[in-house]
Amino acid sequence: MSGDQAVPMDLPEELESKLEASVLRGASDEAIFRYLKREFGIERDEARPLVRAIRSRTKLRPSDLLLPVLGGGIGAVIGGIIWGLIVILADAEVGYVAVAVGILAALGVLAFSKGRRGIPMQSIAAVSSLLGILIGKYITVFHIVKTVVLKDGGKDLADKVTFFSEGVWKVFWGGGLQSLVNGFDILWVILAVSSAWGLLKANHLAVPSLRRNTSRGEVPSSTSPRE
C-alpha cells in the first residue's frame, strides 16, 4: 500500500485497499467502526488507530490537487465542445447539456483524484463546469464571427479567422459574451455546478463493498500488530 504510515494491524491487502477507498470517498469514522465491528468483530478502540493511520496517509496535500484540476479541465473542454456544437447545430441552447457539462467536469476530476470526494474536489469540478460553459460560449461566438465575416468579406477573409484569432478573442470579451448571456444562463450555470457538486459529494456512510471468501474471525485483531 502507498503512504508513509503503516496500518497498525495485520489486514488482508484487499480489505486495507477498500478501507482506504472508503476514506477517500468521504466515509466517516463511525461508519468504518460499525463496518469493522459488524464484519470482523474489531472493537472501536482497536479500529481507531487503524482508521487514524489510513486517514494520515490519505490526507489531502496541495500536490494532490494538480491531477484533479487537470482532469476537471479535460472534462470542461470536452463538455464545452459538446455544448458549443449543439448550440451551433440546433441554433438554440439546450438546458440538459449544461448537466452533461457538469457531469463531465466531475468525472474528469474523479478519474484523476483516485476516487477522492468532498469539498475540495467538488470545488474543482464546479469551477471546471463553469469553464466548460465559457468554452461553449466561446465556440458559439467564434461561429458567429466566422459566419459574419464569410457573409460580408468572402471566403478568403473568413479563412483567416481562426479559433484563437485576436479578433475573435476581442469580440468574445468585448461584448460577444454579454450578448449571449440571458436569464436562462443563470439556470444553465446552476444546473452545471449542481451536477458537478452533487456527483462528488462525500459519502459519509460509505463502507467497503467487500464480500470475504473467508469466514468471520480470520482478520487478526490488534493483538497482532505490524512490526
Q: Which residue has the higher pLDDT, 219 or 202?
A: 202
How far is Cα 88 from Cα 65, in angstroms, rounded to an integer? 34
Max CA pair span of the chain: 83
Q: Which long-range contacts (CB under 8 A, 24 or more apart) does 148-156 make?
A: none
Instruction: Look at 80-84, 90-94, 142-146, 216-220 and tell me which has the smallest mean pLDDT.
Output: 216-220
Chain length of the chain: 227
* pLDDT tens for each residue of 149-173: 888 888 888 888 888 888 888 888 8
pLDDT at 137 over 80: yes
pLDDT at 131 over 60: yes
Query: Which three cell numbers, joined as nine digits, stand for 48?
Result: 481507531
pLDDT at 227 over 70: no
Q: Taking a C-beta distance cutoff of 8 angstroms, is the pair 53, 7 a contact?
A: yes
Q: What is the mean pLDDT of residues 47-55?
A: 87
Task: Sketch the domain layout of the chain as residue ranges.
Answer: 63-199
Question: In the block, which residue shows the cell 497498525?
Answer: 8
* pLDDT tens for each residue of 20-43: 888 888 888 888 888 888 888 888
Q: Which residue has the higher pLDDT, 105 or 24?
A: 105
Q: HSE of 108 in the Cβ direction (CA atoms, 13 Å)?
A: 29
- pTM of the complete model beyond 0.85: no
Q: Taking a C-beta distance cutoff of 8 angstroms, is the pair 26, 202 a contact?
A: yes
Q: Taking a C-beta distance cutoff of 8 angstroms, is the pair 37, 30 a contact?
A: no
* pLDDT tens for each residue of 92-101: 767 778 889 9
Q: Taking a C-beta distance cutoff of 8 angstroms, is the pair 15, 42 a contact?
A: no
